[in-house]
Amino acid sequence: MEALVKFVQEQFVEKKDFPKFSAGDTITVFYNIRAIMMQIRIKEGSYKIRGKDVDLSGMVFPLVERFKVGAKGGYVTVDGKSIQGFPDRAIKIMCANEASYEDAGKTKSSKREETDEETIERLRERFDMLEDMTKATKKGDVRAMIVSGPPGVGKSHGVEKVLGKHELLDTIGDRPARYEVVKGAMSAIGLYCKLFKMADKDNVIVFDDCDSIFSDELSLNILKAALDSKKTRRICWNTDSFKLRNEGVPDSFEFKGSAIFITNIKFDNVRSAKMRDHLTALESRCHYVDLTIDTDREKMLRIKQITNDGMLNEYKFADDVVQEIVDFIDINKKRLRELSLRTVLKVADLAKAFPTKWEAMAENTVMKR
């Protein structure tokens, strides 16, 4: 019986072999030190958000560095990323002295809801940045830019607004337009020809929802050559082509223009590893502007901001009609087929065409059944 037990132990019981040590052996030990941040409660202190001093009394933050005095006064450094609405980094809360905060023990970090005004200002800053980046692209300071975000938030409007002003100046000066918007499908050879047409310095080509170029390997290789970080960007077409001969396009040329890509595609969500590598290479050559608006609240605040800024001015509605349209969108936002600026324009079209029954018409055209 003992022999049987011994056999079972040897065959089936996992053995743990421990190394043997002797005097004078050197042992390397690996260990982790986990630092636990002290939580502090602000008794009196403020932080500037969107240019305004916000009182943070009563809020709890992880402490990064104790009270110090700087050029602008006293402050305590805390971890801002632990609370929504604050920067994703260490921030300085202005306070008078060490008595302005206290140990909060094991109390969890506070939660702070962003006000409507702060959200609107944050969205405005983001879209103002889009216009600034478009100006830089037109000047040639920025070679390329990818603008990503959900449909109907104003991506195309922001870009074309800036480029349209430059086009007006070109028209007044009797000069050819220096930008072109391409929409819809495009083949690789069509892309090559279009880049040749817009190859001169200060020209901008805008690919607006022209997403077929992002799923074609040849097109992506052409774009990578056009937007390379090298001083000279030369594009080549080394295959015989009747189209190129017919249109007088050379088999190689230097591209000196700029490009803007406006898309709803999230590059991170592309499944094909091969295509994702190409897109990553393209993204590395471009500035990436993410205009993602995730929540219905943010989308609705964006709609209110744009309508207040005059999006519906061309309809020449009375102020109360504009407010009625915005209220209609807000009340029915959960039932709309799409909560976007495009839907606002659809409803405005109905209000213009059917002043007395536009709401009934909208219920049947822009809402889900």
Residue length, the chain?
A: 369
Whether 86 is in a domain gets the answer yes
| Statement: the pTM of the whole predicted model exceeds 0.85 | no
Quick one: 228 and 303 in the same domain? no
Whether 4 is in a domain gets the answer no
The CA distance from 143 to 197, in Å, is 17
* Cα-Cα-Cα-Cα dihedral sign, residues 152, 153, 159, 162: positive
Quick one: 301 and 253 in the same domain? no
Quick one: 167 and 262 in the same domain? yes
Range of the domain at 69: 39-103
Whether 83 is in a domain gets the answer yes
Last residue of a domain, one of 236, 259, 290: 290
Last residue of a domain, one of 258, 290, 322: 290
Q: Looking up tokens 């009747």, which residue turns up?
A: 242
Quick one: 125 and 262 in the same domain? yes
The CA distance from 186 to 219, in Å, is 9
Quick one: 273 and 197 in the same domain? yes
Quick one: 171 and 266 in the same domain? yes
Q: How many domains does the chain have?
A: 3
Quick one: 127 and 239 in the same domain? yes
Average pLDDT, the chain: 87
The CA distance from 295 to 282, in Å, is 29
Give the residue among 310, 346, 305, 301 at the shortest CA–CA distance from 325. Answer: 346
Q: Are strands 39-42 and 258-263 parallel, antiparallel or unpaired?
A: unpaired
Quick one: 153 and 283 in the same domain? yes
User: Residue 330 forms beta bridges with which residues?
Assistant: none
Last residue of a domain, one of 266, 290, 314: 290
Helix pair angle (341-353, 319-331), 10° resolution: 130
Quick check: 148 and 266 in contact, CB under 8 A?
yes
Whether 22 is in a domain gets the answer no
Residue 35, pLDDT score: 56
Whether 90 is in a domain gets the answer yes
Residue 187, pLDDT score: 93
Quick one: 58 and 207 in the same domain? no
Q: Looking up tokens 């040849």, which residue turns up?
A: 218
Quick one: 265 and 283 in the same domain? yes
- Ramachandran region, residue 51 (left: φ > 0; alpha: ψ -120 to 50; beta: rest): left
Tens digits of residue pLDDT in 3-43: 665 655 666 555 556 666 677 677 776 666 555 678 999 99
Quick check: 287 and 142 in contact, CB under 8 A?
yes
Whether 20 is in a domain gets the answer no
Whether 110 is in a domain gets the answer no
Whether 15 is in a domain gets the answer no
Quick one: 356 and 274 in the same domain? no
Residue 82, pLDDT score: 79
Residue 165, pLDDT score: 83
Quick one: 286 and 316 in the same domain? no
Query: Domain with 277 in it: what CATH number?
Result: 3.40.50
Residue pLDDT tens, the chain, 369 long: 666 656 556 665 555 566 666 776 777 766 665 556 789 999 999 998 877 888 999 999 999 999 999 988 999 999 988 787 788 889 999 999 999 999 988 777 777 777 888 888 888 888 999 999 999 999 889 999 999 888 888 888 889 888 888 776 666 666 667 889 999 899 999 999 999 999 999 899 999 999 899 989 999 999 999 999 898 999 999 888 899 999 999 999 999 999 999 998 877 777 777 788 888 899 999 999 988 887 899 999 999 999 998 999 999 999 999 999 999 999 999 999 999 999 999 999 999 999 999 999 999 999 987
